[in-house]
Amino acid sequence: MLEVSHLCVRYENRSIPAVQDISFSIGHGEFVVLAGDSASGKSTVMQAVCRFIPEIIPAELSGSIRIDGEELVDPIDTARFIAMVQQDPETQFCTETVEEEVAFGLENFRFKEEDIRRRVHEALEMVNASHLTDRSISTLSGGEKQKVAIASMLALDPRILILDEPTSSLDPKSVAEVVSAIEKFRAVRSMTVVVVEHRVREFIDMATRIILMDRGKIVHDCTAEDLKFTGICKSLAEARSYPKIVPREGTVLTISHLDYQIGGKKILDDVGLTVTDGAVVALMGENGAGKTTLLKHIMGLIKVSSGSIEFKNHRITENNPVEPWILGRDIGLVFQNPNHQMFEKTVEKEIEFGPVNFGTSMEEAENAISSFESIEGVRRYVHPQCLSFGQKRRVNIRSASAHEPSILLLDEPFAGQDENNVSKIMELLANLQRSGKTIIVVTHDIQFARGFCTDTLIMRHGRVVADGPIERISEESWQDLLPKGGKMDG
């Protein structure tokens, strides 16, 4: 059905091709997982298959891509056969509301109005997102946006469905829902599915094949059963090792009775939080629980309308607002979407952005730049938009901390990261904590929260349902974060 022959892709300003002479074929009805470390070339291959490369994303491409023997070179023609949910769902949104977005492709392919309504309803129902139908996309959480992007592609009923990291921003319950929906849809429609994923174990039981990439090349192409016996996925089951994190004395941040609502819907409901100096706090809860909204309040990106936030010599209330550029000297924020905070034309300038604007020492920035070059094998003069999604995230963390703020806020920093780079980020966070920073991390990773963090705060429907030191959080509270019958790793 899909045949890729001798595919090579090289991005502008990169001496080494991102994809190096790979060939593979995928048959009708297969469920293939394309796996590999961050920046191994997985997303690039699928963008080439959809003809986003080179028609939309500039890059040199050679080789051939055929569907049923026919070579398609135009992305519009290709879209009649192949639908792709991209790693960053926001890059494919074209409308303002959820219903309009799911209907967008159907309208462009001139489906009948009654068919459009039916397909929109069915697709949203499949990913358990029917309640979002009338919502504005701009008000959705990252996980909710991911569900909408998946629904918009499912509605097209394509012959080949490609999903690039479809679970990266989802809470454990939503992961189970989406995985189940994909498998049901494939079984009913006899659809070919390709999933690009770090979390191979989420799909290994339903996959017919695993294609493993490393540095732009295919290193393994085998059945899921064969992969289990090769030991390649052994690291997924291994327990992580965690550094010892010890908080210091004193309180650095206090939040009291914080409320926030949009259009009559409460997003934050009487939220309270006390953060100790040097703590690493895991902020957890289902998609749409209010976690990102809470971080934006702390950063000053959303004005306090009810309640208060106390930090250093600031007491922020509705009548006493503080602008984010003032708070930004002492608070760094890593956004959920790394593309939302890329301002410069080189990695070097991106990491230097904070120190230059706040007039702080450049020493920490230079150390961060040198570290990135050494670990990633990427020169400082590369444009940030040429980096992989995971590499952009790691630039974000260095950029947000280079001006040495006392508090660092991170919104799902492990999304799009392979296990090796999760370990690198944890090491980076541990070093930042030891250097005097207090850290608040939005995460769905229970293993990370219990093994690395000193405290946690669990939210549900805008309210705090559990908080305190990790050892005081009940097993019931942890279990409530999982789907029914789910088990915790580690």
In a domain, residue 435? The reply is yes
pLDDT tens for the chain, 490 residues long, are 899 999 999 987 677 899 999 999 999 989 999 998 877 899 999 999 999 999 888 899 999 999 988 887 788 888 888 999 988 888 889 999 999 999 999 999 999 999 999 999 999 998 889 999 999 998 888 888 888 999 999 999 899 999 998 887 788 888 888 788 888 778 777 889 999 987 777 788 888 899 999 999 999 998 877 765 555 554 444 556 788 898 998 999 999 999 999 888 899 999 999 999 999 999 999 988 999 999 999 999 999 999 999 998 889 999 999 999 999 999 999 998 888 888 899 999 999 999 999 999 999 999 999 989 988 888 899 889 888 777 888 899 999 999 999 999 999 998 877 788 888 889 889 999 999 999 999 999 999 999 999 999 999 999 999 999 999 999 999 999 988 766 655 4
Of the residues 237, 264, 282, which one is the last residue of a structural domain?
237
Q: Is residue 377 part of a domain?
A: no
Whether residues 225 and 260 fall in one domain = no
Query: Is there a single domain that holds both residue 39 and residue 84?
Result: yes
Same domain for 139 and 37?
Answer: yes
Which domain, by its residues, includes 56?
A: 2-237
Of the three residues 237, 270, 295, the one that is the final residue of a domain is 237
| pLDDT on residue 10 | 93
177 and 274 part of one domain? no
Return the pLDDT at 434: 93
Split into its structural domains, the chain has a count of: 2
- Does the pTM surpass 0.85? The reply is no
Residue 388, pLDDT score: 77
> In this structure, are 206 and 300 located in the same domain?
no
pLDDT at 20: 95
Provide the pLDDT for residue 62.
95
Q: 468 and 414, same structural domain? A: yes
Q: Does 210 fall in a domain?
A: yes
Tell me, what CATH number does 303's domain have? 3.40.50.300
Does residue 145 sit within a domain?
Answer: yes
Q: Is the same domain home to 200 and 82?
A: yes
Decide if 395 is inside a domain: no
| 108 and 81 fall within a common domain | yes
Q: Does one domain contain both 76 and 172?
A: yes
Q: Are residues 100 and 216 located together in one domain of the fold?
A: yes
Quick one: 229 and 271 in the same domain? no
Residue 67 maps to a domain: yes
Three-class DSSP labels, the chain:
CEEEEEEEEEECCCCCCCEEEEEEEECCCCEEEEEECCCCCHHHHHHHHCCHHHHCCCEEEEEEEEECCEECCCHHHHCCCEEEECCCHHHHCCCCEHHHHHHHHHHHCCCCHHHHHHHHHHHHHHCCCHHHCCCEHHHCCHHHHHHHHHHHHHCCCCCEEEEECCCCCCCHHHHHHHHHHHHHHHHHHCCEEEEECCCHHHCCCCCCEEEEEECCEEEEEECHHHHHHHCCCHHHHCCCCCCCCCCCCCEEEEEEEEEEEECCEEEEEEEEEEEECCCEEEEEECCCCCHHHHHHHHHCCCCCCEEEEEECCEEEECCECCCHHHHCCCEEEECCCHHHHCCCCCHHHHHHHHHHHHCCCCHHHHHHHHHHHHHHCCCCCCCHHHCCHHHHHHHHHHHHHCCCCCEEEEECCCCCCCHHHHHHHHHHHHHHHHCCCEEEEECCCHHHHHHHCCEEEEEECCEEEEEEEHHHCCHHHHHCCCCCCCCCCC
Domain boundary among 237, 267, 298: 237
Residue 400 belongs to a domain? no
Classify residue 104: in a domain, yes or no: yes
Same domain, 38 and 123: yes
